[in-house]
Amino acid sequence: MNSEDNSATTPVVQQDSPASKPNPVKRLYQWVLRWAETKYGLPALAVLAFVESSFFPIPPDVLLIALCMGAPKRAFKFVFWCSVSSVAGGVAGYYIGYALYEEIGRKIIEFFQYQDVYANVGKLYGENAFWSIVTAGFTPIPYKVFTIAAGAYHQYVSVSTLVLASCVGRTGRFLLVGGAIYFFGPPVKRILDKYLEWFCLAFMTLLIGSFFLIKYLATPAPVVP
């Protein structure tokens, strides 16, 4: 039997290519989504929102959207607990930066390769800590970096500033998601999945613009002699 016959009869064993193997982050994402199908969806959302504020990679928006889609009338309840838990997690992140930066905080920053972002946060906090945290809480900027850095740069950021700014930023972000599903229902899901970050950026721009407009209008005009 020649070599051609051998090649024709010998089974070819195909090995999985690296690209065919499930991505660890994608598996984690799918694991998070599965909680929406259980009776523990709300507790899972609260836990996810808490840990994402300091170290967990998957944002709570994914589970929040799934829960709101399953029960639109409870959307604002989900938003409330997601916001409260996220702010509480931010305080935990603050403590990590304040007391445990070298032991834990630095490792989290390096694990996610956020060193460049962290290096600029101190300067931002020196300029305006409140609006820096509001922006980080509402936009795709990694919120966990800002909560940890708030504790590390506690000379610029008090706990009360962190809590107040986080309430504005995180609640605004989650309210945008829950409110859209509550008022517009399932058709808005595809839009949120694709353009959520753009909506957040646009809303944040309007929020900051409105603040400065109010400040400008409240400034008394100079008296002309």
Q: What is the pLDDT of residues 147-189, one digit of tens each?
A: 999 999 999 999 999 999 999 999 998 998 899 889 887 777 6
| Tokens coding 34 | 């599965």
pTM, rounded to two decimals: 0.75
Token pair belonging to 145 = 């970096």
Residue 110 to residue 120: CA distance in whole angstroms: 15
pLDDT number for residue 206: 52
Phi, psi angle pair for 130, to nearest 5°: -60, -55
User: Which residue has tokens 């590390």?
Assistant: 152
Give the alpha-carbon dihedral of 37, 181, 200, 136, to 10 degrees. Answer: -40
Q: What is the pLDDT of residue 15?
A: 47
Lookup: tokens for 210: 């409105």
Cβ atoms of 133 and 169 closer than 8 Å? yes
> Per-residue confidence at 213, pLDDT binned at 50, 70, 90?
very low
pLDDT interval class at 201 (50, 70, 90): low
Q: pLDDT band at residue 90, thresholds of 50, 70 and 90? A: very high
Mean pLDDT, rounded, for 81-92: 97
Q: Tell me how far apart the alpha carbons of residues 139 and 179 are, in angstroms, rounded to a whole number.
A: 17
Distance CA 130, CA 158 (A): 10
Q: Tell me if residue 157 falls in helix, strand or coil.
A: coil
Say yes or no to pLDDT of 93 above 60: yes
pLDDT at 200: 56
Torsion of CA 50, 54, 59, 63, to 10 degrees: -20
- The half-sphere exposure of 95 on its side-chain side, counting CA atoms within 13 A, is 6
For the cut 60, the answer to whether the pLDDT of residue 20 exceeds it is: no
Q: Tell me, what's the pLDDT at 100?
A: 96
Q: Is a pLDDT exceeding 80 seen at residue 199?
A: no
Assess whether pLDDT exceeds 50 at residue 222.
Answer: no
Which range has the worst mean pLDDT, 88-92, 151-155, 217-221? 217-221
Q: What share of the chain is helix, strand, coil (3-state, %, to 5)?
A: 80, 0, 20
